Chain A
Amino acid sequence: MTRHHTLQRLVAITMFVVIAVSACATPTAAPQTPIVITQVVQQTQIVQQQVVVTPTAVPQGPKPKGEITIWMWKAAEDPIKNSGVEAAFNKEYPDIKLNWVTYGTNDVYQKLPLALSAGTGAPDVALVEDSNLAPFVYLGGLSDLSDRVKTYQTQMNKYKWDTAMKDGKYYAMPWDSGPVVLYYRRDVFKAAGLSDNPDDVSKLISTWDDYLKVCQTIKDKTGVPCFMSNKANNDARLYEMMLWQQGLGYYSPDGKVTIDSADNVATLEKLGEFWKAGLLSDEASWGDPWYARFKSLDITNTVATHVEAAWMGGNYKTWIAAEAAGKWGVAQMPTMKAGQARSSNDGGSSFVIPDQSKNKDAAWAFVEFITARVSSQNKIFAYADIFPSFEPAYDDALFSEPDSYFAGESVRQYYLNASKIVPTGYVYGQYYSDMHGKVQTAIQKFSTGAASAADALKEAADAVRTDTGLK
């Protein structure tokens, strides 16, 4: 009997310890927040910039007044506030009170449709990433901004309007764009015996086939992986940039599903060649191990390149890899076929004004002040690398200034050149959520060897056809 109790006690104590240990392991650090596009949290480097205030449209009539509520994520809100743009707005519109509500991007996407659907509870202004914009435009409940944006139609990056429109009407105002470039580690290129000059790198890596060869060289000479791309939890973002670069996407201009088209399959297979050659490292995007490679000063633990939009440069210098100052360079992104546009887009964001807003004039005054003023756009761009969609902003000394983080390279020129040649892509659209989710799974199956590129994409395409009724 005594032995029996001892056993009972032992079991109770063991279980207690197991549970207590796991219970004690509450997070000491704040949980990782998913980080999405145009995300720049803190600024370590404030570029002093004299910007000539040249309002492009002087507001006519009495100035709007009242209070407006704005939903936006912190990484977009902070640059507006900290770059002095908010103060400038308050000075010009002293009678408009801004009521900021800080939400994560996902919070906006969860709350906004409910508020639109309920007919109450929506803000006067909400910021939406371009990937999520078209679904909202097609959902309805947003004000038709056609008359208000008319002045700026030709002044914004043209492709930005693609997701903002429905039936010839405009429901959103572009803020920033995501022109894609090739980020590369100068120290790794040097260690592999390659030039680290941006023009040389652009020439050296002009197609994805060149990219593969160069990465093989780097791998052989230094052992450094080409870039990071997780297999089992792949987020499909790089694949989407590759599609957009070729003017492809998930659907055709006439609305047919192209997820399983020969071009799309070939693109995924091209990505597959990198996996097959063992050139990629498996860290999942937006996690600590992923950041660790970007910021590592020891080249054996770093990564050679990263294809991403302009806002990524801001992320590097402000919070992901501030310690790697001088190590990164910016070149043109490679293309699938020689001679194609060396540019793509990833992310970017736009403002919407819900139809239920009671103060649309004030809401528009705010949106216009942020997006369609050279001074506002460039103050924010200088502060956080949020690349202006507003083209008149490009005529500014800021764009040719050397950037000390990138070893004195004028990286903004590369962003700017890429932004001018972004092809019309068919990635974002009203069914993006469904298509993106299914393509993610297809890439995961392909990369882990569970299915061929053609089969995985065919399965995704068929499922999307069933879901959306598209052909």
Chain B
Amino acid sequence: MTTMKSTAPSAALPLGARLQKLGREIIRLRWAYFFVAPFFLLYLVFGFFPQLFSLFLGFTQWKGLGPITFVGLANYEVIFRDKVFWQAMANSVIIFFMHVPLMLFLALVLAVVLNSKRVRGLPFFRLVYFLPYITNKIAAGRTFGLLFSSDRQGLMNYFLSLFGIAAVPWMDNIWTARIVLCLLIMWAWVGYNMILMLAGLQTINPELTEAAMIDGASAPQAFFQITIPLMQPILLFCLVMSVMGTFNLFSEVYTLTAGGGPMNATLTPIIYIYNKAFGDFRLGYASAVSYVYFIFIFVVTLLQFRYVSRED
């Protein structure tokens, strides 16, 4: 970044001189380049190359071994008729609306509570809320599977049975399975969002709220009129991360609902891509799907940024 900044004013110079200057800058900052190089080298091999290669694979049929057959746009044409893929996309939208608004609200409330100077043991609570986020998602998925086991041995059904409620077959019903999945995601991610929001809250001058309260604003008014607007960049960031997080769900679904059941109700695009590539050995098609999916996420993220910055 420094190089770009320093070369920018010299745009009027002839090309040779500009390159010379750039070279000098690179030599001057050689240690900086040296230290950032490992990331870029690894990214080139494990990130950039696979991305380009899968763009190419999207136009082919390939099992991962043997001949690569060029098929033009055939894969992309199939995607638009692929009901299961579009169901996976729809699932993600449904699951997103089922949990993200509630999760972000909870995270914000928690952050505000923990931001209060009167709560003692802040590091302890912060750690506790953050723990689920760093807990292995496979273990969490398995545990939720046991908690919500369909029979009476599941803790949740045992709990319900104490009140005389019949055992709920959580994983055998489209909506209950989605609810359990949402509970798992919220449990795992509320702490992460809370930490981000707590960091955001700590940058807000408390005098603003205090001044408003002196002027007669109630606590909820101060929260909604002052805190939330000032938190908007953080909220946007959390929202964008949650959109991607929901569409990218993998481990949770893989362990909790055996990869998308019942009846594909919890199937996510990433699980679908994985199944096509490594279950059916259809790497060409899976690559095409990942590009369609990438464009979708890219556009949604772009819209989110546009929408929120216009609000400002």
Contacts and interface: CB of A to CB of B under 8 A. Distances in A.
Given A20-B128, A233-B171, A233-B262, A8 B116 contact: yes
Interface size class for chain A?
35 or more
B264 interface: yes
Contacts of B63: 138-140
Contacts of A135: 280-281
**Among B174, B262, B275: residue with most chain A CB under 10 A:** B262
B143 A233 contact: no
B55 to A, nearest CB: 19
Contacts of B65: 113, 116-117, 139-141
A16 interface: yes
B21 interface: no
Interface stretch (B150-158, B202-210, B231-239, B295-303): B150-158
Given A27-B139, A27-B146, A8 B119 contact: yes
Given A5-B118, A444-B263, A467 B281 contact: no
A31 B119 contact: no
Interface string B258-269: 100111100000
A11 B113 contact: yes
Interface in A226-256: 230-233
Contacts, number: 139
Contacts of A23: 128, 131-132, 135
A437 B271 CA distance: 13
A342 interface: no
A232 B278 contact: no
Given A282-B172, A288-B149, A467-B280, A450 B263 contact: yes
A8 B118 contact: yes
A194 to B, nearest CB: 29
Contacts of B129: 15-16, 19
Contacts of B187: 19, 22
A12 B122 CA distance: 10
A11 B109 contact: yes
B155 A25 contact: yes
Contact of A4 (B109, B139, B147, B219): B219
A145 interface: no
B78 interface: yes
A203 interface: no
- Do most interface residues of chain B lie in helix, strand or loop, or is the interface mixed? helix
A284 interface: yes
Contact of B263 (A117, A138, A448): A448
A433 interface: yes
A5 B119 CA distance: 8
Contacts of B64: 113-114, 116-117, 139
Given A23-B135, A27-B143, A288-B149, A232 B262 contact: yes
B9 interface: no
Contacts of B280: 135, 431, 433-434, 467
Contact of A12 (B125, B135, B169): B125
Interface residues of B, number: 54
A463 interface: yes
A9 to B, nearest CB: 7
B142 interface: yes
B128 A19 contact: yes
Contact of A25 (B84, B119, B147): B147
Contacts of B123: none
A285 B254 CA distance: 17
Contacts of A22: 132, 147, 187
A22 B109 CA distance: 20
B282 interface: yes
Contacts of B6: none
**Among B65, B129, B143, B145: residue with most chain A CB under 10 A:** B65
22 contacts: A11-B109, A12-B110, A12-B114, A19-B191, A22-B147, A27-B142, A110-B278, A116-B65, A117-B64, A138-B63, A139-B66, A140-B65, A233-B172, A233-B262, A282-B169, A282-B172, A284-B171, A289-B153, A437-B279, A441-B264, A463-B82, A463-B84
Given A283-B151, A466-B78, 19 more contacts: A9-B118, A12-B113, A12-B119, A15-B106, A22-B132, A22-B147, A113-B64, A113-B65, A114-B278, A116-B64, A135-B280, A139-B64, A140-B63, A232-B169, A232-B171, A287-B149, A289-B153, A437-B279, A441-B263
Interface of B: 63-66, 78, 81-84, 106, 109-110, 113-114, 116, 118-119, 125, 128-129, 131-132, 135, 139, 142-143, 145-147, 149-151, 153, 155, 169, 171-174, 187, 191, 219, 258, 261-264, 275, 278-282, 285
